Amino acid sequence: MSRAIAAGNRRFREEREADWAALAELLDRAEKKSLKALTDDELVALPVLYRATLSALSVARATSLDADLIAYLESLSARAYFFVYGVGEGAGARARRFFRHDWPAAMRRLAGETLVSLALLIAGTLVGALLVTRDPSWYGTFVPRELAAGRDPAATTAALRATLYAGAGNEPLAVLASFLFTHNAGVAIFAFALGFAAGVPTALLILSTGCMLGAFLALFAGHGLLLPLLGWLMIHGTTELFAVVLAGAAGFHVGRAVIFPGVDARVVALQAAGQRAGTAMVGVGIMLFVAGLLEGFARQLITSDWLRFTVAGVMLAGWLGYFYLPPAAPRSDRHGG
């Protein structure tokens, strides 16, 4: 039995020792000078190696490997924690790293969940549109009365059109815009926060948002105003709804770690998933802020359909390019990350 344990210890070390050595070497240089002594590649590798070391520490504790190894990993993890989460890096450097690497990298890691979230939003939109088209009484089920504010199946075409083309200073329009933004921001927050419940509440929230959107589309389409409505919504919606989709993806990412933790312990898997999803949610907050600016200014001041679609298209292309077609990211696998 002792031989088997010794063999297991040796194999465990051999598989992971390169990561520990690389992390220790980076920390030695950072402690002697500062994080400025590390290259961009090494700064990117540092949190990756730190998470790999934490994972190894969790396995070592769970399998009761030798005490010396556990003590070494604990010490190494504690040293790395200071530089990854402590005050070793200035606010400016952290902000640059967030926008240059952390945020788009988190979005790429959540690409699969993003497609699931988008599919649910589209499915909800189709369901809402079909039900309201066949039976307008469904409209009140999907759209709260305070949000409808007269924009319901009983409204005239002229009244609905006035909603879309009234300029700045129109109070009913401002109320509707504020309600939509508040609703979607709330959905984004809860879609992420409830992801731990296996992602089920997240899925329901995304579906309900899609149903509300579909109900709006069906109502305006019935009056020949589908394209004007899309322009009115999408000038900020390509940012705001994209943020909702990404928040749903963050929730699903956490939920997947609950159900399928993989080779790591569930707590370790949740910690890693929570860090990635948390980074994504910081970005979602930024997107909602941008959407609020577009909603408060661009949508009120621009009343031309083609200009609205142009702004919407430019924003969507910008987000997609930033998240999924970034400049070549530094590679961290040379350190074993």
Three-state SS string over 174-193 comes to HHHHHHHHHHHHHHHHHHHH
Q: What local confidence, expressed as pLDDT, does residue 18 receive?
A: 87
Q: What local confidence, expressed as pLDDT, does residue 242 receive?
A: 95
- Give domain limits for the chain: 2-89, 109-324
Q: What local confidence, expressed as pLDDT, does residue 202 receive?
A: 92
Q: Which of 244, 229, 233 is nearest to 124 (CA)?
A: 244
Tell the burial category of 102 from Cβ atoms under 10 Å away from its Cβ (0-12, 13-18, 19+).
buried
How far, in Å, CA of 124 to CA of 117, rounded?
Answer: 11
List phi, psi (to 5°) of 89: -115, 135
Q: Which long-range contacts (CB under 8 A, 24 or more apart) does 63-66 make?
A: 63/8, 65/8, 65/9, 65/12, 66/9
Q: Are 101 and 46 in contact (CB under 8 A)?
A: no
- Give me the numbers of helices (H) and strands (E) for the chain, helices first please: 15, 0
C-alpha separations of 320 from 99, 258, 302 in Å: 14, 28, 23
Q: What local confidence, expressed as pLDDT, does residue 225 receive?
A: 93
pLDDT in tens, the chain (337 residues): 455 556 666 777 788 888 888 888 888 888 777 767 778 778 778 888 888 888 887 777 766 667 777 878 888 888 887 777 654 555 677 788 889 888 998 999 899 999 999 999 999 999 999 999 999 999 989 988 777 767 788 889 998 888 787 654 455 555 555 666 676 778 888 888 888 787 889 999 999 999 999 999 999 999 999 999 999 889 989 999 999 999 999 999 888 888 877 666 667 777 778 888 888 999 998 998 898 888 777 777 788 889 999 999 999 999 999 999 865 544 444 443 3
Q: What local confidence, expressed as pLDDT, does residue 43 receive?
A: 79
Q: Which of 10, 4, 42 is nearest to 25 (CA)?
A: 42
In residues, how long is the chain?
Answer: 337
Q: Are 110 and 277 in contact (CB under 8 A)?
A: yes
H helices within 38-110, ranges in order?
40-62, 67-85, 91-97, 103-109
Give the chain's radius of gyration (CA, Å): 25
C-alpha separations of 43 from 47, 64, 153 in Å: 8, 32, 57
How far, in Å, CA of 133 to CA of 27, rounded?
Answer: 63
DSSP state of 248: H
Q: What local confidence, expressed as pLDDT, does residue 334 receive?
A: 40
Half-sphere exposure at residue 2, Cβ-oriented, CA atoms within 13 angstroms: 0
